[in-house]
Amino acid sequence: MKPKHIQHLYRRVGFGLLPDQLQTLLKKSKAHIVDGLVEASKTVTPLRVDTSEIEAVFSGNMMVTKKLSPESRRKIRKLSREKQMEFNLAWMERLTDSTEILREKMTLFWANHFVCKDNSITYIQQFNNTLRTHALGNFKAFVNAISKEAAMVKYLNTKQNRKQNPNENFARELMELFTLGEGHYTETDIKESAKAFTGYSHNLRGEFVFRKRQHDESDKTFFGKAGNFSGEDIVDIILKQKQCATFICGKIYRYFVNENVDENHVNAMANVFYRNYNIETLMRYMLMSDWFYDKKNIGVKIKSPIEFLVGLKSTVPITFKNPKQWLYMQKLLGQILLNPPNVAGWKGGKQWIDSNTIVLRLKLPSLLLNSAYISKVKTGKADAKIDFKKAVFNKKYGKRFKADANWSYFNSHFKNVKMSELETHLLACKINDNTKAYLRTLDKPSKQEYSIQLMSLPEYQMC
């Protein structure tokens, strides 16, 4: 494989590739590299934070009263908020440093597909690990597992879905957002399938509970079929629609390949996926396809805030004196892990960028890695306005972001890279003429300095 194709692959299924890692992979074929990515991600390593304090409060109360007291509920809510922040940071670390990079990137993808949020760390941690467990597995098992997750049962009101008064929220989103896409079902299909999911519930520990007395045992008519369908039956019928495979493949294509969909490629993916709904097989097919590496698909995707932050952190490890500043940064950039805006999730693409976020993105590398200082303009080309804007930006954000950059890590991995080669390692797309002219006005005293300059360009926002 060509170096640019290997880099493209790792930017899409991960968050980039260090130069010494690239040198090792240059000796291998595409099949060998893709096989290695898939094999490394066959392992499932759950992500967990210590929730023993919450469990102790819960267990102690239940042993005495069989229910939680108001005081215990308040304590659990407080602990849960703290632990959710901890889990957010743990997820950031996992994304930055994991051998199971394909599984972790897929987990991030599925988190914005099966969108869900909750205020219980127990439920949300369990949900996140269900995403991780099924990220490369069978899609049918995945959908059924998601439908029984406590966080999803709460989020889409399945717990209130009873035979006397069906709640249609989950049934609607199951088809509209999770499997088929809008317009590929009827209102009758929603009403009838909602009956099939009656009785779905969970206990306080987050374990799935089927309340048989609340389940509608009558016949339902769904997609032209009639019977006393269960929730699993509904999922079976949905997956028999080729539209389900096409819909999922379209979303995967837009996320991993290009927002501008090539219908021929998506249809080819759907043909593979529809056979047995195996996600690993689908991903292997996509990553082995020549069109995945077409120049029209390289460097055309706007990085999400998480992709931007993790990519930056993977190149030069950053440690905040106050780790919670990672959450503040996520908020400023518009993507807080575990806190999607609504059931449809983040739209992505051009929606990631506005007048505020682009300024912050362009300044963050210098702010975090070089105390808000990019580099001075060459002698005789000083610009007072630029210096003033940098000073204002540093005053606004500098006190909030106190970070240490591990340049030793960068230097060890980039020691054999010439300064003239840094561009190919840090940028996914070519620098335009105006940007080249700007770079020529700046001093380049070191690799570190030039790297910060490159990471402060609009081109660095692309992958």
Whether the CB-CB separation of 282 and 272 falls below 8 Å is answered with yes
Q: What is the DSSP letter of 262?
A: -
3-state secondary structure of 191: helix
Q: Is 236 exposed, middle or buried (0-12, 13-18, 19+ CB in 10 A)?
A: middle
Query: Which residues, other chains included, contact 388 with Cβ-Cβ below 8 Å and sequence gap of 6+?
Result: none
Half-sphere exposure for 178 (CA within 13 Å, toward CB): 25
Residue 63: the pLDDT is: 43
In this prediction, residue 388 has a pLDDT band, given cuts at 50, 70 and 90, of very low
β strands within 10-144, DSSP E: none
Q: Is 137 exposed, middle or buried (0-12, 13-18, 19+ CB in 10 A)?
A: middle
Q: Which residues of 94-133 are buried (b: 16+ CB within 10 A; e: fewer)?
A: bbbebebbbbbbbbbbbbbbbbbbbebbbbbbbbbbbbbb
Which amino acid is residue 418, in one-letter code? Answer: K
273-306 confidence digits (pLDDT tens): 999 999 999 999 999 999 999 999 999 999 999 9
42-99 confidence digits (pLDDT tens): 999 999 999 999 888 777 655 444 577 788 888 888 999 999 999 999 999 999 999 9
In this prediction, residue 373 has a pLDDT band, given cuts at 50, 70 and 90, of low
Residue 452: the pLDDT is: 95
CA distance 104 to 136: 10
Per-domain boundaries in the chain: 3-40+241-297, 305-461
Query: Which residues, other chains included, contact 260 with Cβ-Cβ below 8 Å and sequence gap of 6+?
Result: none
Query: Hey, which residues does 196 pair with through a beta bridge?
Result: none
Structure tokens at 364: 């963050």
Rg of the chain in Å (alpha carbons): 24
Q: Which residues of 258-295 are buried (b: 16+ CB within 10 A; e: fewer)?
A: beeeeeebbebbbebbbeebbbbbbbbbbbeeeebbee
CA distance 370 to 389: 16
Structure tokens at 30: 């595409």
317-356 confidence digits (pLDDT tens): 999 989 999 999 999 999 999 999 999 999 999 999 999 9
pTM of the model: 0.93
420-449 confidence digits (pLDDT tens): 999 999 999 999 898 888 888 888 789 999
